[in-house]
Structure 1
Amino acid sequence: MDRRPTIVDVARQAGVSKSTVSLVLQNSALVKEETRQQVRQAMADIGYVYNRAAATLRSANAGLIGLVINDLRNPFFTEFATSLQMALSAAGYATVLANTDEDPDLQGQVVSAMLEHGVSALIIAPTYGQEDATFGAISRAGIPALQVLRKVVPEVDRFPFAAPDYLAGGRLAARHLLDLGARRIAFLGGLEGREVTYQRMSGYLAVLAAAGLPPLVLPGRPGRAFGREAARLLARSHPDVDAVICFNDLVALGLLSGCAEIGRRVGPDLKIVGFDDIEDCAQVFPGLTSVRCDIACFGQRMAETMLRWLRDGCAPPPETLTPVELIARGSTLSR
């Protein structure tokens, strides 16, 4: 090697992440002894010399993980972020949290700032658009990075992806409604052209196709306002619809309000299924049937996944799908 070896060279030689090498250099107890020896042997093999004076300047940022969320106003993402942050904190890591509000420019800015401040890793629930700006910068930094809940770049070998099994959730919801006698089932909400919309809709489409029933897809912004407006749209333009699967619980909760406003009975007249099973689903009346993603446990699992990657150099598989289940409540189980 014609130049002085760097920490990146050590990581490559040892087959671990750059962050794992940093932890070994800090004599962190978070690294297994076997991994520690592997890294130190790689240092010796390539002639790496640790510059402790320079490292002291960076020490304040050791054990810092960046968490970037596309929409913290949505309780689904808030619960995920809270659960993940608490799990990382319990393991001795600090979390830097940023909300991008579905703005790709802002996402690029906060990721760049986190990299400049020396985060050890990034966990991103990404927004859509300008993906190269964000993920190109991460790739150049050479730190571990997870895509969670949404997959916006296909390079899952470099940026592993994890999410609840949305396709299975759509199947559960559609079969539940068919078993209850529904015959005209609509899928409501979600923006067209987005992979996450297709994933949440694909199970519904498959089940209806198998049953020989035509789908009805009504896209829209995935929030309460759209759901509330959709109550009138369904009554006016699609009076034959007797059941709805919503892109998320916010759309479903808005639809509940809209039905109350126009005097349509939820359950007997229109069965509604949400997606995510946020806390509000069990508190509204009638209770909202929803696909439970167990987002708190998902957050804990992602923390554990990242810790294994950092401590042991054990990268996660390219794609991970976690189980979902249907929680039936009054919005489909009419009295």
Structure 2
Amino acid sequence: MKKRPTILDVARQAGVSKSTVSLVLQNSSLVKQSTREEVARAIDELGYVYNRSAAGLRGAASGLIGLIINDLRNPFFTEFAASAQMTFASKGYSTVIANTDEDPEIQAQVIDSMIEHGVSAFVISPTYGGDESPFERIERAGIPTMQVLRQLDERTDLFPFASHDYAFGGEAATRHLIDTGCQKIAFAGGLADRPITLERMSGYRSVMQANGLAPTIFHGRPSRQFGREIALKILQEHEGLEAAICFSDLVALGMLSGFAELGIKVGQDFRIIGFDDIEECSLAFPRLSSVRCDTALFGRNAAEAMLAWIVDGVRPPDTKHYPVELIKRQSTLGLNA
């Protein structure tokens, strides 16, 4: 007996994903007309018969959100993911979370896998590098998708982007250090030419230039190890530096450790500001000044924006930047603060 064609056979014949075929069968408006025609042609050629009762059973298990994060080892991204997941759960949506570990190949794999498993929507903090083919596949599948914290695909009319006002954060941090009397201020961390690095550096550069001050920049993977190495490098090669704004709190915490080894008193001999204001900033010694992005609130806002899109049809704006706030602590105000 000839095997009855399946939805996977139709997907292979049409050159699309299983979820795209499902959307076509459900007459979803998310799928382009040209894709509909390709799927319809494959159905005719294969003689596929849509089992609506089985589809109804599958539909009962719908409401799955794909949450893809570039680095879950970083507490900043972990807090965001947890907040978004809890917000989705409060509305009855389950979340499948994947860590790409800054690997574009893994990112492509998990996107394909989630499409095949029929996610209702994607929220992605993307990994840089690779090509845009994963987003092309998302487009073909017609799955609502938000980019958050980082932007990989420029087509925000298709993939809205939400992040923080990093430029303002850099400006506020630099002005604060200048107000404390610092003139020789560095920016430490972040890979060169990455959009997120340029965003976080932009406010620093503009304020330094406006005050006639020369920037000093140390690029590198934003980790504690890098921060510690930069602290050692500053003492050995840049003795005149007075302060640093760090790409992330992890870099800043690494610098705190490095300076402690060297006997340098942060907040007195050298001033440091982090970026993100993770919980450890208020627990470290000295307590770390940082640009607060309120990651938990951002996670809730991103999830609520996605829910409004897929439940009520209210699409998020193409681009949205949420405000940030400089939190001043001992690492810039002194140990008595």
For the aligned pair, the TM-score class normalised by the smaller chain equals: 0.7 to 0.9
Give the letter for the 2:238 counterpart: H
| Structure 1: unaligned runs, 5 residues or longer | 14-49
Give CA deviations for 1:195-243 in whole Å, capped at 9, x if unaligned: 0000000000001111110101110110000000111101111111101
Q: Is the 8 A contact 1:61 1:119 kept in 2?
A: no
Who is 2:249 aligned against? Answer: 249
Report the identity percentage.
56
Deviation at 1:8, TM superposition (A): 7.2
Asked if the contact 2:124/2:146 (under 8 Å) is kept, the reply is yes
Q: Within 5 A, what are the aligned runs for 1:225-240? A: 225-240=225-240
2:67 aligns with 67
3-state DSSP of counterpart to 1:206: helix
Tell me the residue number matched to 2:135: 135
Superposition map of 1:57-96 within 5 A: 57-96=57-96
What are the equivalent positions in structure 2 for 1:1-335 lying under 5 Å apart?
Answer: 6=24, 10-11=28-29, 52-334=52-334, 335=336
**Offset of 1:164 from its aligned partner?**
1.1
Contact 1:222/1:247 (CA < 8 Å) preserved in 2?
yes
Matched positions, count? 295
| Alpha-carbon distance change, 12 to 71 in structure 1, aligned in 2, over 3 angstroms | closer
CA deviations on 1:262-318 (whole Å, 9 max, x unpaired) are 111101111000000000000000000000000000000001000000011111111
- 1:168 and 1:295 map into 2 onto residues whose CA distance is 16
1:177 CA displacement? 0.5
TM-score by length of 2: 0.85
TM-score where L is the length of structure 1: 0.85
Three-state SS of the structure 1 residue aligned to 2:132 is helix
* Superposition misfits of 4+ residues, deviation over 6 angstroms: none
Say which structure, 1 or 2, has more relative contact order (CA 8 Å, 6+ apart): 1
State the SS of the aligned residue for 1:331: helix
- What SS does the corresponding residue of 2:68 show, helix, strand or coil? strand
CA contact (8 A) 1:173 1:273 kept: yes
User: What is the letter of the counterpart of residue 249 of structure 1?
Assistant: D
CA distance, structure 2, for counterparts of residue 186 and residue 80 of structure 1: 28
Q: Secondary structure at the match of 1:113?
A: helix
Which residue is 2:5 aligned to? Answer: none
> Displacement, 1:136?
1.0
Provide the C-alpha distance between the structure 1 equivalents of 2:28 and 2:263, rounded to a whole number of angstroms: 67
Computed over aligned residues only, the root mean square deviation of the Cα atoms, in angstroms, reads 1.6
* TM-aligned CA distance change 1:311 to 1:7, over 3 Å: farther
Q: Give the secondary-structure state (helix, strand or coil) at the position aligned to 2:285.
A: coil
The answer to whether the 8 Å contact 1:58/1:118 transfers is no
Structure 2: runs of 5+ lacking an equivalent: 1-22, 32-49
Deviation per CA, 1:127-182: give whole Å up to 9, x if none.
01124121111111101000000011111110110011111110110011011111
Partners in 1 of 2:327 and 2:188 — Cα distance?
19
